[in-house]
């Protein structure tokens, strides 16, 4: 099995200070074969723009990854990846982004429901909770149905943020809608990410074992594994503890990507077969 962390943020993301060398050296120290540098690119509701997220910035990211790839050749396989948030809010430009660069791997995610980051929603009010969950799942279904990506990141992100507000909101409350998202992923040959960042503060990764099992039941074939590290100390966090869970849900092992295709390849001195 290739040991890979396919969800890492460098200081090219606005919420990370970690430079790519620290990330690569830590990954090598941990014995990883492959990492994906998957910096953020967020789409917003019309009228709200962010200075950082533009194609010029992605070009710079690509150059940094290429340079590191040459520098660490033979020690580490480095994927040029991206985490695209809310692509369904601007499908045209999101699709233009995915086709304009030679990404190895694309994560899709949904961080901002109704224009507000999930970190700032009210999880105490019953009506607001339900509205947030339904809108979140509707957005995920749109992304899963029509966007050009490889793996859907942190499927139950609402859990991470609602726990911080002291009242958990689990996507398991809406099984039918969640299964619709999972079935769509499976039918399109997309992967579901197992994201270990929640294990830093809670007993389960994202998604939970039961939801991962639903993915298998709906025909899901591919799982990717990511720490969502924004600091090198979080790279591959608790990976050993989730391999068993992934296997027990019927998936042989997490896949990695090469030129946007899933593969179970072996790693040999800096390149994948």
Task: Find the largest Cα–Cα distance for the chain.
Answer: 54
Q: Could you tell me the smallest distance in angstroms from the CB atom of residue 266 to Zn ion?
A: 27
Q: Pick between residue 178 and residue 267 the one whose CB is nearest to Zn ion.
A: 178
Q: Could you tell me the smallest distance in angstroms from the CB atom of residue 248 to Zn ion?
A: 25
Q: Pick between residue 143 and residue 267 the one whose CB is nearest to Zn ion.
A: 143
Strands (E), 9-90: 34-42, 77-85
Residues touching Zn ion, count (CB under 5 A): 3
* Distance separating the N- and C-terminal Cα atoms of the chain: 13
| Under rule CB under 5 A, residue 132 binds Zn ion | no
| Under rule CB under 5 A, residue 109 binds Zn ion | yes
- Return the range that interacts with Zn ion (CB under 5 A); candidates 26-34, 89-97, 220-228, 243-251: 220-228
- Return the range that interacts with Zn ion (CB under 5 A); candidates 28-36, 79-87, 113-121, 245-253: 79-87
Q: Could you tell me the smallest distance in angstroms from the CB atom of residue 217 to Zn ion?
A: 25
Q: Could you tell me the smallest distance in angstroms from the CB atom of residue 269 to Zn ion?
A: 29
Could you give the CA distance from residue 195 to residue 182 in angstroms, rounded to a whole number? 16
Q: Which of 251, 154, 135, 147 is nearest to 190 (CA)?
A: 147
| Under rule CB under 5 A, residue 228 binds Zn ion | yes
Cα-based angle 211, 213, 214 (whole degrees, multiple of 5): 65
Segment 15-74, which members bind Zn ion (CB under 5 A)? none
Burial of 231 (0-12, 13-18, 19+ CB in 10 A): middle
Q: What are phi and psi of 114, to 5 degrees?
A: 60, 30
Q: Pick between residue 183 and residue 230 the one whose CB is nearest to Zn ion.
A: 230
Binding site for Zn ion (CB under 5 A): 83, 109, 228
């Amino acid at each position: 099995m290739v040991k890979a962390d396919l969800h890492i943020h460098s200081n090219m993301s606005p919420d990370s200070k970690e430079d790519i060398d620290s990330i690569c050296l830590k990954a090598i120290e941990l014995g990883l074969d492959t990492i994906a540098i998957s910096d953020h690119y967020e789409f917003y509701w019309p009228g709200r723009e962010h200075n950082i997220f533009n194609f010029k910035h992605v070009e710079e990211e690509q150059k940094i990854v290429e340079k590191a790839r040459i520098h660490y050749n033979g020690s580490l396989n480095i994927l040029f990846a991206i985490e695209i948030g809310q692509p369904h809010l601007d499908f045209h430009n999101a699709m233009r982004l995915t086709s304009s660069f030679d990404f190895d791997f694309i994560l899709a995610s949904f961080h901002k429901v109704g224009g507000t980051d999930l970190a700032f929603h009210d999880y105490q009010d019953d009506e607001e909770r339900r509205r947030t969950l339904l809108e979140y799942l509707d957005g995920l279904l749109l992304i899963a149905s029509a966007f050009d990506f490889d793996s859907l990141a942190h499927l139950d992100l609402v859990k991470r943020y609602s726990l911080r507000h002291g009242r958990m909101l689990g996507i398991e409350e809406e099984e039918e809608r969640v299964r619709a998202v999972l079935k769509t992923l499976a039918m399109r040959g997309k992967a579901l990410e197992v994201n270990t960042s929640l294990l830093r503060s809670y007993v389960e990764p994202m998604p939970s074992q039961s939801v991962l099992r639903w993915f298998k039941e709906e025909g899901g074939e591919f799982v990717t594994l990511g720490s969502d590290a924004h600091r090198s100390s979080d790279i591959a966090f608790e990976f050993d503890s989730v391999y068993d869970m992934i296997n027990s849900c019927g998936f042989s092992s997490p896949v990695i990507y090469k030129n946007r295709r899933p593969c179970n390849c072996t790693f040999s001195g800096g390149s994948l077969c």
